[in-house]
Chain A
């Protein structure tokens, strides 16, 4: 059996002899692979961003907001009425079987001061289950507990952004900050969550016990009323059931008749994001598929060049056969030439794709994700294109009759 290194050497020499033509032949593959890599990077970048947002808001999250109510014929916006109460939240927790955790919230913004630093941020009064609902870890200290809620202690759990703005390098635990001039002790620091779907900084936040918020910070809230209720369904599949249970329960509790509109709104964020994720996935598959077409076209270009090459080198094939090349040796030679072309095209295409992806990322501010997997797929596919489109020309070369091949002018 003829050594592979010899065949590769022969193939390389033939490609070098027709450098310009070889380059033009692989240009199709370069563009094809480049397009696939770029499209997949753009598509999976988008869906990765959405996925990370899904996990950052907390999976299976359901939001209950006060409804848009109509007062004297004037339709007010969502949340204008404080129709939700602490007891609503407790009832949901107790009676809705598909809900595993509930956290009511009172929200507002406030100026926060520590030492000579000050910062305006969102302050949320809530209950201990908030960290379960939002799947939020603490990097130090603890979260608001039942004791805090019961006695309305002035404690605060701060997000990463707040920690950086107020404390810089200092450890915030145990320090006293002033929220609306009222002193609060920092008892915990939350882990980083990043931007939300709408681009808001989720780490720019302070959690305090809901009772404290109501009594001392946001006095305009009626006693026992909450701004919104966070609920967590037991699984993705049980979200619709949980939504239905919450609606039924609240309609009962708020004594809403069969023909009356709800005075609350139930929002299923996970479902919305899942839908967005699905459509991005579909988009990236579609983009990849369109890009693959150019790879196939590139493969046909390779096949064309290889056929020309076989015809041109008929005499060379005859000579090789006359001195003892077996049909499989000839077939291998041309196959390796084709695979070599497409593999080189694959490498350059990969570089082109990575370059284009980064250009798109920086020029259009689009999240990209180049995975090793997609690079390997593009690379492997280009080698496969070489085998697939190189096989016929190689087969044709190997079946030449040596006598006729030697006579070929």
Chain B
């Protein structure tokens, strides 16, 4: 059974009278432990695709099975629960809380899953050590470099031990050295833990980390490396 399965997913945004079909009949499966890179120009629908997979958004029509459960009909509370337990999100902008320390940022998902304070701290420290930031635990985001901030964000995504890691251009704001460090972390997590990883990127050398590449154009998947190895130019 695929961990992620989308069936004929359509997403339409309405702006008054005007309708925009952002995702057009997407059917795709991603297996457990896959490392997938999503590519495509701006406005091709890849971010919406990520938002739907990440349960931040729901499809207009079609079905989304996560771990075999149809979540496309879930309500807001149920979606929040899925985001909390099953999805780790990493953003281009890091999206850390500026007034909270690295440790507190990592603890955030645990607050919403009701883990007691003491246990939260231990769990957060453990994942921080996995991304090599133990001694930065009490630093605030502004005291950390971009690469370090992104590592805090990865630790936050990992702390609830979710089966799926989603990253939307995680290296978009980083220099090439930090980018490689971050990608190595993703690669290691994928290989060691079998964490299903999906990364959106513009850069071919980042996309090369993926064992599978999916290319979006105008809301459709135009190339999926598991079915076609031919590079299609947008």
Contacts and interface: CB of A to CB of B under 8 A. Distances in A.
Contacts of B203: none
A327 B56 contact: no
Given A319-B95, A320-B112, A324-B80, 6 more contacts: A319-B97, A323-B89, A324-B81, A324-B160, A326-B81, A329-B112
A174 to B, nearest CB: 75
Interface in B14-47: none
Interface of B: 51, 54, 56-57, 76-77, 80-81, 83-85, 89, 91, 93, 95-97, 99-100, 108-109, 111-114, 116-117, 156, 160
Interface of A: 1-3, 5-6, 10, 13-14, 17, 315-316, 318-329, 402-403, 406
A325 B112 contact: yes
A238 to B, nearest CB: 67
Given A323-B156, A326-B76, A403-B51, A1 B114 contact: yes
Contact of A3 (B76, B81, B114): B114
Contacts of B100: 13
B117 A327 contact: no
Contacts of B114: 1-3
A324 B91 contact: no
A63 to B, nearest CB: 72
Contacts of A323: 83-84, 89, 108-109, 112, 156
Contacts of A324: 80-81, 83-85, 109, 112-113, 160
B163 to A, nearest CB: 15
Nearest to B86: A324
B13 to A, nearest CB: 11
Given A3-B116, A6-B111, A322 B99 contact: no
Given A2-B112, A322-B83, A327 B77 contact: yes
B31 to A, nearest CB: 25
Given A3-B116, A406-B91, A320 B108 contact: yes
B207 to A, nearest CB: 23
SS class of chain A's interface: helix, strand, loop or mixed?
A: helix
A402 B112 contact: no
Nearest to A327: B76
A148 B95 CA distance: 96
A315 B141 CA distance: 15
A328 B112 CA distance: 11
B66 to A, nearest CB: 15
Contacts of A3: 111, 114, 116-117
B57 A403 contact: yes
Contacts of A315: 95
B59 to A, nearest CB: 14
A9 to B, nearest CB: 9
Nearest to B57: A403
Among B95, B113, B114, B156, find the residue whose CB has the most chain A CB atoms closer than 10 A.
Answer: B95
A44 B95 CA distance: 56
A309 to B, nearest CB: 13
B45 to A, nearest CB: 14
18 contacts: A1-B114, A2-B112, A3-B116, A3-B117, A5-B117, A6-B111, A14-B99, A316-B97, A321-B56, A321-B83, A322-B54, A322-B56, A322-B89, A322-B95, A323-B156, A403-B56, A406-B93, A406-B95
Contacts of B108: 319-320, 323
A21 to B, nearest CB: 14
